Amino acid sequence: MSAMLIKGSEISKKIKEELKQEIVNLKENNNIIPGLATILVGEDEASKVYVGAKEKTCKELGIRSERIDISANTTEDDLLVLIEKLNKDPNIHGILVQLPLPKHINETKVLYAIDPKKDVDAFHPVNVGKLMLGVPDFLPCTPHGIQELLVRSGIETDGAEVVVVGRSNIVGKPIANMLIQRNRKGANATVTICHTGTKDIASHTRRADILIVAAGKPKTVTADMVKEGVVVIDVGVNRLETGLVGDVDFEPVKEKAKAITPVPGGVGPMTIAMLMVNTVHSAKMHAGIKVKL
């Protein structure tokens, strides 16, 4: 058995094509151009790459992109003043502060300063709370990308046993929350979260119909830890001397899986696509246009 590859690189292209038309319609019918402001503090090379990719995607789709690069020596107060200015700018519908931040800046304080209605990363506690209640304005980008991969690949989640490896605020906790929602497409699953305190992780992963791995460690999940016919979503990206690898031991696991995401080209491209989705949704909401998530 050789698994079907769930290619986020291809699915994200379809989503972006759909967005292009939405953006054209917004401009023609409502005179609105969605706007995304990205703040980069310092010279972190990985952050520069991520911000550049977001900027490029905005340009491709017709989203107004405002990139603000500031010194690593910027004070926390100056950064908060900048965020407040963007909160009040009617041409900006999404604000993204690229992480990590320099150590002298309180990350939590900065993220909480973003207007929840412009928090297109969905990190603000207001948006986290709304997600838990099942009434989100925005869905967090990587978990939303995972859910779209499942839905658009025809993977049934209703009643499925889902195991999530990793409990981060960015992936593990929100995807678990999204998948247990009752009245949402690509949800209504039974979810188990495994983490560093879990005893005998393999006993849980072997039960999974759908296994989502965001452990942050290469090849955490091996072939003996999964059952035949599992669907595997590998969120991890780890740079080794041999190249990029995920958190799943890809080659042997794909021989047992029904479907699996590759690394690279799996979950990664979906994150930026869903950021663009959130920016367009925000523009609609600010214009009083109802958005269905």
Angle between helices 8-30 and 45-61 (to 10 degrees): 50
54 is catalytic: yes
What does the angle CA 142 – CA 257 – CA 6 come to, to the nearest 5 degrees?
Answer: 40
85 is catalytic: no
> Catalytic pick from 117, 118, 119, 121?
121
- Which whole-number Å values give the CA distances from 52 to 102, 107, 155, in the listed order? 19, 21, 32
Of the candidates 174, 161, 237, the residue with the CA atom closest to the CA atom of residue 205: 161
Q: 3-state DSSP helix/strand/coil percent for the chain, to nearest 5?
A: 40, 15, 40
Helix (H/G/I), strand (E/B), else coil: 87: helix
The span from the CA of 225 to the CA of 214, in Å, is 15
Are residues 283 and 26 in contact, defined by beta-carbon separation less than 8 angstroms?
yes
69 is catalytic: no
DSSP 225: G
Cβ atoms < 10 Å from Cβ of 62 = 15
> Catalytic pick from 98, 117, 234, 249?
98
Helix (H/G/I), strand (E/B), else coil: 64: strand
Which residues are designated catalytic?
A: 54, 98, 121
